[in-house]
């Protein structure tokens, strides 16, 4: 019992000291859910939190932590890890990583090695529009400079290449998803060698493992990276981690 209380207090400390709920997320439903959670009525709190997320499209880092905690206490480890991953993707707070790695080790799960590159990618996804705007601001004076040189009938030399490079970066970032998604396997299933029901099953994968999603194939398949192999999994068997909710 003391260990359980210690876990709860640890998570609430992270919640309240680092991530206050934003004004748009403060609603009667959420306040009621918080009250139920604080009083130990986890299932009732969960129902209200999910209403905020799925119906009203409102959620906060604190709510994601609490949902993860609720699912962990219910022994639904895949769903707990899904919410903790969502929390990390939304906040970039690495304090949650040891908790996820602890759960993955206890349940013999793979895919929870977090690199600096993944952290950088998550920041890029979070600040996508400011990054694009900054690149455009850098390119604008360069463009004006080239126009002035053209009006003065001066040679450009190789200078346009720099401007074309800036435009190329903006086009790439704006039209292609260059950052792979991550996904949690929600039920035991087969990883196939092709996106078809009759394809060969390469490996059985259990729920809770974490995959790199490379892209979609058709309407019901995803192409994923697992143990350095490109394989395929049905969409119904995974939850993709994104900071926009479910």
Tell me the backbone φ, ψ of residue 41, rounded to 5 degrees: -90, 75
Contact 191, 202 (CB under 8 A): yes
User: What domain count does the chain have?
Assistant: 3
Assess if residue 99 is contained within a domain.
Answer: yes
Q: Does 164 share its domain with 101?
A: no
Q: Does 203 share its domain with 146?
A: no
Q: Does 104 share its domain with 41?
A: yes
Q: Does 87 share its domain with 7?
A: yes
**Statement: residue 18 has pLDDT above 60:** no
**Span 66-79, average pLDDT:** 95
**Span 12-18, average pLDDT:** 48
Distances (CA, A) of 227 to 60, 201, 231: 33, 15, 10
pLDDT, tens digit, 9 for 90 and up, residues 86-131: 998 888 888 899 999 999 999 999 999 877 776 776 677 677 778 7
Q: Does 134 share its domain with 209?
A: no
d(CA 95, CA 69): 15
End-to-end CA distance of the chain: 32
Contact 25, 33 (CB under 8 A): no
User: What are the structure tokens assigned to 139, written together?
Assistant: 């390119």
pLDDT of residue 6: 46
d(CA 228, CA 224): 10
Between 31-40, 80-89, 112-121, the lowest mean confidence (pLDDT) is in 112-121
pLDDT, tens digit, 9 for 90 and up, residues 132-178: 788 777 777 777 777 777 777 777 666 667 667 766 766 666 666 65
| Averaged pLDDT of the chain | 81
Residue with token string 């999994």: 233
d(CA 147, CA 156): 10
pTM: 0.71
């Amino acid at each position: 019992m003391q260990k359980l209380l210690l876990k709860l207090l640890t998570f609430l400390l992270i919640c309240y000291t680092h991530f206050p709920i934003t004004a748009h997320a403060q609603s009667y439903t959420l306040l009621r859910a918080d009250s139920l959670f604080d009083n130990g009525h986890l299932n009732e709190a969960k129902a209200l939190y999910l209403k905020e997320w799925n119906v009203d499209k409102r959620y906060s880092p604190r709510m994601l932590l609490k949902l993860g905690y609720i699912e962990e206490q219910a022994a639904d480890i895949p769903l707990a890890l899904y919410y903790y991953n969502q929390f990390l993707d939304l906040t970039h707070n690495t304090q949650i990583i040891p908790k996820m790695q602890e759960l993955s080790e206890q349940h013999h799960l793979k895919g929870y090695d977090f690199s600096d590159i993944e952290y950088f990618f998550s920041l890029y996804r979070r600040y996508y529009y400011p990054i694009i705007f900054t690149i455009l601001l850098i390119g604008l004076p360069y463009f004006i400079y080239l126009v002035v040189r053209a009006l003065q009938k001066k040679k450009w030399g190789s200078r346009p290449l720099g401007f074309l490079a800036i435009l190329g970066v903006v086009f790439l970032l704006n039209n292609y998803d260059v950052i792979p998604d991550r996904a949690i396997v929600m039920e035991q299933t087969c990883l196939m060698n092709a996106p078809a029901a009759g394809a060969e099953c390469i490996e059985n994968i259990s729920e809770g493992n974490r995959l790199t999603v490379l892209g979609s194939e058709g309407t019901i398949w995803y192409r994923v990276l697992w143990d350095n192999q490109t394989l395929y999994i049905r969409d119904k068997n995974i939850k993709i981690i994104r900071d926009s909710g479910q």
